[in-house]
Amino acid sequence: MTLSIRLTEYVRACFTGLWVQSHEHADALLEIARLCGEQNWRLAIWDIDAGLTVSGQSAESEESAADPLAVIRALNALAAPDSTTLLVLQNFHRFLQSAEIIQAVARQIISGKQNRTILIVLALLVQLPPELEKLFVVIEHELPDRDQLAEIARGIATEDEELPEGSELETVLDAASGLRRCTWQSRHSRKNSPSSLNISLIGSPARAMGSRKSFATRRSTT
């Protein structure tokens, strides 16, 4: 089940505290932004470096940008009548040792049910203090499955014979299982390496050598 589907279910059910565990924050943010556009939800994003942005625009002064407590308190002001507002806090687990922040988060999650403001923590780890454990629902942003990997490969392999077919493609997808989207994309975006789809993701040296021989045989017979 994709991140978009799970978020849609929880947001519609008005779960106001969501924790998205992800190895790929950029892809998770893109998926969340796409979902908000489709559902006409308002989206705000905060991190310690960039501060708070709403619809891609900075929404606070430089002095308050690095204040994690201030951004929690600002969420209710972002609420829109007859709509839903999502606030995504990147790597916010780093700030949940503060009693003030824990209290502010707990209060916001409870009050968010009144104005449909959803607090989303986006982090690599799930590190919840005991006071917040029952207030958050944890969602795992899963690594891409075979269909998603194949779709990415087809989008990159634009030249003739750049993408293997049949059993060779199945072998490549087997080897790519467990890779992150960014790793898969970066290893196959090299336009000067038509064989990259065959060899760059094979996990072990022995399998890599086998894939090279397979590719060389196929090229020599064409």
Tell me 81's DSSP state. Answer: T
Position 193 scores a pLDDT of: 47
The tens digit of pLDDT for each residue in 161-194 reads 556 566 655 665 555 554 444 444 555 554 434 4
Percent of the chain with pLDDT over 70: 61
> What is the overall mean pLDDT for the chain?
77
Report how far residue 80's alpha carbon sits from residue 150's, in angstroms, rounded to the nearest whole number.
Answer: 39
Beta bridge pairs of residue 137:
18
How much of the chain exceeds pLDDT 90, in percent?
A: 54
User: What is the enclosing helix (H) or strand (E) of 44?
Assistant: strand 42-47
How far is 107 from 52, CA to CA, in rounded Å? 20
Question: Cα-Cα-Cα-Cα dihedral of 216, 180, 144, 30, to 10°?
Answer: -130
CB 153 within 8 A of CB 163: yes
In angstroms, what CA-CA distances link 181 with 134, 138, 156, 201?
31, 21, 12, 12
Q: Is the entire prediction scored with pTM above 0.75?
A: no
C-alpha 197/C-alpha 172 separation (Å) is 7
Distances (CA, A) of 219 to 184, 187, 190, 222: 23, 21, 19, 5
**If you write DSSP's letter for every residue of 178-212 in order, what string do you get?**
T--HHHHHHHH--TT-TTHHHHTT-SSHHHHHHHH
Bridge partners for 119 per DSSP: 17, 87
For 46, the 3-state DSSP assignment is strand
Can you give the pLDDT at residue 42? Answer: 95
User: What distance in Å separates the CA atoms of residue 161 and residue 111, rounded to the nearest whole number?
Assistant: 56
pLDDT number for residue 215: 36
pLDDT at residue 114 is higher than 80 = yes
Alpha-carbon span 170 to 149, nearest angstrom: 11
Domains of the chain: 3-140 (3.40.50.300), 146-220 (no CATH)
**Which of the two residues, 95 and 82, has the higher pLDDT score?**
95
- Pairing of the two strands 17-21 and 42-47: unpaired
Answer whether residue 160 shows pLDDT above 60.
Answer: no
Q: What is the pLDDT of residue 208?
A: 37
Of 132 and 160, the one with more pLDDT: 132
Considering only residues 93 and 147, tell me which one the structure prediction assigns the higher pLDDT: 93
Per-residue confidence at 205, pLDDT binned at 50, 70, 90? very low
Please write the tens of the pLDDT for every residue from 27-80.
Answer: 899 999 999 999 999 999 999 998 999 977 776 655 567 899 999 999 999 998
